Structure 1
């Protein structure tokens, strides 16, 4: 799996059969292989996560699918691409391809969770046999690669908010993480907010995710071009158990 950090919360992931583009608003896209299916995800309607320019992609990439949070109004979608769009509410499941085939080598299952801000978080189960070495366990010859993109699902505690508001935020965040854990998900790749505007509370979302759900690799996002928050997290004592799994980004 090739993973490209684009900007803010924007990531592009590429498997042998497909491309997965998350919350692309600003920055430069690398070349997109036109032979691969392109899945474009938007976690919610905020301007730092959703830009109408994504709807230009089918003009140069015929195999495009849009998976949009249901808080985005349908009138934001041009008529020319409406047949390519699926809207998802929290706690829904969507599968591609939508028809089964015994010869199928690639499949995608998308599960949504409820954001503590707006919209949804996405979990993808990508079954692409070329992502794996020949399996030791023949019971599952095509195990899924599990990908998590949080959108704005985070423990958004702020010093200026009342204690009751912050406590409610933490409760809601941990409750949603428990739902992810109880559904049996352990992401191979997790893209999680790490926002320095929260001052000394900036690390909470990542740390609580790793305590409750866990992931093999953590890709920070939503840090408003302040890349220094990544080594700051790695320097905290709480990160010792997962420090080596935090990807240290240095530029878009």
Structure 2
């Protein structure tokens, strides 16, 4: 199984039986690149996920993928139908909200919550548990909020983790925001996730074209025996350790 960093929060997971594409915003070369030149040419079924309607997580261009590939299943957060109705009105897709699920012969999907909008996705593919956080994160904004405000944001985040733990305890692969706008605590949510769940591989995301090493996250990954992927550029590929 292989992971490809597309851009921002966009990733592709490749297996011999299926491919997953999460939160497509731009291709590895903006309009073209890995998705158009490789992913859409793979014969295996493709599942396209969008966690919410924000433009950096949902690009209506995904529906044009059908011009190049027939066997595509779209799985979108329910808020997209409300906020981007003109783009999805005549489209065939699976609509999920928090607590919803989808299953076929290849994958099992459960939608969990977010601390912003939309959902996060847990996907079982070939027995591997894969989690894409969407905009689920500890958006504490310490530099801009009072202590009472950011502690409230943090409680909402920890409550969402408790909700997930009712169903899931471990993940093989987690894609999670490490947003540089949060400055010194940009990895706080990711570190708390590693404390709450048994995670094998962590892929940082939601940093646009500005990936940054984070010593706190590096230390947390080491303490929890997590493989932290060192993402540096669009199109970077990682062979997953299973």
State TM-score, norm by structure 1. Answer: 0.83
Separation (CA, whole Å) in 1 of partners of 2:71 and 2:97: 23
- Pairwise CA distance, 1:179: 2.0
Separation (CA, whole Å) in 1 of partners of 2:225 and 2:5: 19
The aligned runs of 1:55-134 (5 Å cut-off) are 55-73=63-81, 74-77=85-88, 79=90, 82-83=91-92, 85-97=93-105, 107-127=106-126
Can you list the C-alpha shifts for 1:170-206, whole angstroms capped at 9, x where unaligned? 1111111122222134110000000111011111111
Residue 137 (structure 2) aligns with: 154
Residue 7 (structure 1) aligns with: 7
- Pairwise CA distance, 1:239: 4.2
Does 2:175 correspond to 1:191?
yes
1:34–1:62 Cα contact (<8 Å) kept: no
Separation (CA, whole Å) in 2 of partners of 1:210 and 1:195: 16
Unmatched runs of 5 consecutive residues or more in structure 1 = 98-106, 128-143
Does 2:241 correspond to 1:245?
no
- Pairwise CA distance, 1:162: 2.4
SS in 2 for 1:65: strand
1:180–1:213 Cα contact (<8 Å) kept: no
SS in 2 for 1:122: strand
* Bigger CA radius of gyration: 1
The alignment covers a number of residue pairs equal to 222
- Pairwise CA distance, 1:161: 1.6
Does 2:61 correspond to 1:39?
no
4+ residue runs over 4 A deviation = none
State TM-score, norm by structure 2. Answer: 0.86
SS in 2 for 1:216: strand
Separation (CA, whole Å) in 2 of partners of 1:232 and 1:224: 19
Distance 1:27 1:34, change over 3 A: closer
Correspondent of 2:199 among 215, 229, 232: 215
SS in 2 for 1:215: strand
1:69–1:119 Cα contact (<8 Å) kept: yes
